[in-house]
Amino acid sequence: MCGIVGYIGNNNCVPILIEGLKRLEYRGYDSAGIGIIDKNVSIIEKYKGKVSILEDNVYKKKLSATLGIGHTRWATHGEPNKINAHPHQNNDKDLFLIHNGIIENYQILKELLAKKGYKFYSQTDTEVLANLIDFHFKKTKDLFEGVRVALNEVEGAYGIAVISKKEPDKIVVAKKGSPLVIGVGRNENYIASDVNALIAHTSRVVYLEDDEVALITKDGFKARTIANHKLDKTIEEITVSADEITKGGYQHYMLKEIMEQPESVRNSLRGRLLEKEGISKLGGLQGFEDRIAQSDRIIISACGTSWHAALVGEYMIEEYAGIPVEVEYASEFRYRNPIINPNDTIFFISQSGETADTLAALKEAKKKGALVLGICNVVGSSIARASEAGVYIHAGPEIGVASTKAFTAQLSVLALITILLARKRRMSHMDGRKLVKEMDLIPDKIAKILTLNKKIEKLAEKFVNATNFLYLGRGYNFPVALEGALKLKEISYIHAEGYPAAEMKHGPIALIDENMPVVFIAPLDAVHEKVLSNIQEVKARKGKVIVIANELDKKVDKMADHVIKIPSTCPLLAPILNVIPLQLLAYHIAVKKGLNVDQPRNLAKSVTVE
């Protein structure tokens, strides 16, 4: 679920591990630890809380070793505390294990191992796995084989790294459903759950696939499947730089990423808009365009913020391309035996490309013969590799747990896909040119909205003590209302709900009083007058009304308590603009509440467990 790092070479691994864990803090965690082995040292240091606590303790002790693994844990089995923190060890305390994921049959394995004399001290599934590997290590007399054989008995998801005092010149790693990458250096090698932990040291990486296990020494690596088939892994070059994952002078990553949206959206569109032809060009879908356009149905599956983007995509594709679209929560999709036909196309959206629920849904859809396509941000991610084709959003690294620039980049890519399909089905050349021209203006319009940052910060002061919010929008902007509410919930811990504005009177209107802030997304579109009526309904009940409106809208000024005026655009693209003031409002409220904006409680950036 959270962070894995490891090092083997000739240098002291401790600062490398600590630095790597710091680079993975954005993923969310509740404890941190390292395990190191050298000729004269073999210890585990782990603590509840931040990496800084671990850092202070290990540096005070002046620890040094040339082999080590480190971990940040997001609790699944067992509460966050020192005992449940990683690394875990076997009963003999000579084998160290770190683990992301969930071992589903751990209770059965635990009972079997207990009968063989093993004892357990934590509440975790990981300690069970450490002792299972120990059992097979003792039988095979080989760490790599012990890990490989043990994993054949395991059900669930894992990304693991194992080291042992008995073989202090190797790390054994394995992956199933949880990301793991090998960093290739000179006379030294690295492992991590995320390339962000490696980029300060190497740009050469090897991605492990599911059911693969690798032996890593300082001089190289070898890989096999868990079924013991030899593999030839390809070394790839990563292009992300260390500078891209720093705050760049901003107080928080989240603010930096909000402010990067003119450029991130521009990157999503770059080279993909052909104004003269009035069409978009997506190299990742080349050869599949006609099949997608001729689909009986398109399904879009995702979780969280990506699911909100999918909802906007449904509006886009159905209106402009005329293809029926269904949006599915990935976490529910695979478990309800969905009806999937060979002539369906299914897009799976995930910023990280590692979301466990989305990846599992993708694999289920693939079995049923649908065309499976990915929309991801992270190059080389599991969903990107498992898809038959797809589109990268090119938003750049997103470190803040609450997604911002990835959302607007996802919307941009969905708009590109819509134009591509619409032009193949029923959109005229002239209409295509108008849309493409308007899309090209979006980055500059985002930049103009961002100049309102100080105004929105002042507005946020008025709502720091609010306990509830409603967000209301219609049509394309109903999903924007959902996303605005989610952002506020995620980082400020204020209860917030998003609704279609017309649904307010079917229940939520009962909540409205003089203490209830209500945010309306009210662009000048076909349902503008209807939304103005909804605003009046709230004002009649003394609700505090905040409106995201267009610059030319004069009517709304007399109705709202607070108005944020932004540039107008066509309905297809309006969500990209309308969400940005909501991101800033959530951000400033959370900051003024003194909260950890980049690492909100209980949340993880990449959700790699179901």
The pLDDT of 354-375, averaged and rounded, is: 90
With 0-12 / 13-18 / 19 or more C-beta atoms within 10 angstroms meaning exposed / middle / buried, residue 318 is middle
At 459, the pLDDT band (50, 70, 90 cuts) reads very high
With 0-12 / 13-18 / 19 or more C-beta atoms within 10 angstroms meaning exposed / middle / buried, residue 112 is middle
Mean pLDDT, all residues of the chain: 92
Q: What is the pLDDT of residues 377-412, one digit of tens each?
A: 988 888 998 999 999 999 988 888 899 999 999 999
Residues 224 and 198 in one domain: yes
Choose one of 401, 421, 449: the last residue of a domain.
449
At 583, the pLDDT band (50, 70, 90 cuts) reads very high
How many whole angstroms separate alpha carbon 307 and alpha carbon 175? 26
Residues 70 and 150 in one domain: yes
Count up the domains in the chain and report the number: 3
The pLDDT of 80-105, averaged and rounded, is: 92
CB atoms inside a 10 Å sphere around CB 62: 7
The token duo for 100 is 């992301």
**Predicted pLDDT of residue 216:** 98
**Predicted pLDDT of residue 372:** 96
The pLDDT of 108-121, averaged and rounded, is: 96
How many whole angstroms separate alpha carbon 568 and alpha carbon 522? 11
Residues 480 and 386 in one domain: no
Residues 288 and 190 in one domain: no
Q: 330-333: which pairs have CB atoms within 8 A and are 24 or more residues apart?
A: 330/301, 330/302, 330/303, 330/355, 330/357, 330/358, 330/360, 330/361, 331/303, 331/357, 331/361, 331/610, 333/301, 333/361, 333/364, 333/365
Is the model's pLDDT at 608 over the cut of 60? no
Residues 90 and 166 in one domain: yes
Residues 9 and 97 in one domain: yes
Higher pLDDT, residue 270 or 601: 270
Is the model's pLDDT at 549 over the cut of 60? yes
Q: What is the pLDDT of residues 435-452, one digit of tens each?
A: 999 999 999 999 999 999
**Predicted pLDDT of residue 288:** 96
At 464, the pLDDT band (50, 70, 90 cuts) reads very high
Is the model's pLDDT at 74 over the cut of 80? no
**Predicted pLDDT of residue 602:** 74
* Cβ–Cβ < 8 Å for 178, 194: no
Q: What is the pLDDT of residues 21-65, one digit of tens each?
A: 988 887 668 899 999 998 877 899 999 998 999 999 999 999 999
Higher pLDDT, residue 86 or 75: 86
Is the model's pLDDT at 173 over the cut of 80? yes
**Predicted pLDDT of residue 475:** 93
At 205, the pLDDT band (50, 70, 90 cuts) reads very high
Is the model's pLDDT at 1 over the cut of 60? no
Higher pLDDT, residue 337 or 87: 87
**Predicted pLDDT of residue 610:** 55
Name the least confident of 236-250, 430-444, 580-594.
236-250
Residues 118 and 190 in one domain: yes
Choose one of 419, 449, 479: the last residue of a domain.
449
The pLDDT of 505-529, averaged and rounded, is: 88
* Cβ–Cβ < 8 Å for 398, 377: yes
Q: What is the pLDDT of residues 474-499, one digit of tens each?
A: 999 999 999 999 999 999 999 999 99
With 0-12 / 13-18 / 19 or more C-beta atoms within 10 angstroms meaning exposed / middle / buried, residue 175 is buried
Residue among 234, 262, 259, 237 nearest 248 (CA): 259
Cα 561 to chain center, whole Å? 35
Is the model's pLDDT at 599 over the cut of 90? no
Residue among 164, 204, 157 nearest 182 (CA): 204
Residues 293 and 412 in one domain: yes
**Predicted pLDDT of residue 425:** 95
At 245, the pLDDT band (50, 70, 90 cuts) reads low
The pLDDT of 362-387, averaged and rounded, is: 90
Residues 155 and 175 in one domain: yes
**Predicted pLDDT of residue 310:** 98
At 244, the pLDDT band (50, 70, 90 cuts) reads low
Is the model's pLDDT at 241 over the cut of 70? no
The token duo for 590 is 């959370």
User: Would you say the C-alpha torsion 503, 507, 513, 518 has a positive or negative sign?
Assistant: negative
Residue 180: give the domain boundaries. Answer: 3-244
Choose one of 396, 430, 449: the last residue of a domain.
449
Higher pLDDT, residue 299 or 3: 299
Is the model's pLDDT at 522 over the cut of 70? yes
Residues 134 and 277 in one domain: no
Residues 274 and 361 in one domain: yes
**Predicted pLDDT of residue 213:** 97
At 242, the pLDDT band (50, 70, 90 cuts) reads low
**Predicted pLDDT of residue 504:** 79
Residues forming the active site: 2, 605
Residues 303 and 205 in one domain: no
How many whole angstroms separate alpha carbon 335 and alpha carbon 365? 11
**Predicted pLDDT of residue 106:** 92
CATH number at residue 410: 3.40.50.10490
Amino acid of residue 514: E
CATH number at residue 113: 3.60.20.10
User: Would you say the C-alpha torsion 418, 423, 424, 426 has a positive or negative sign?
Assistant: positive
Is the model's pLDDT at 248 over the cut of 80? no
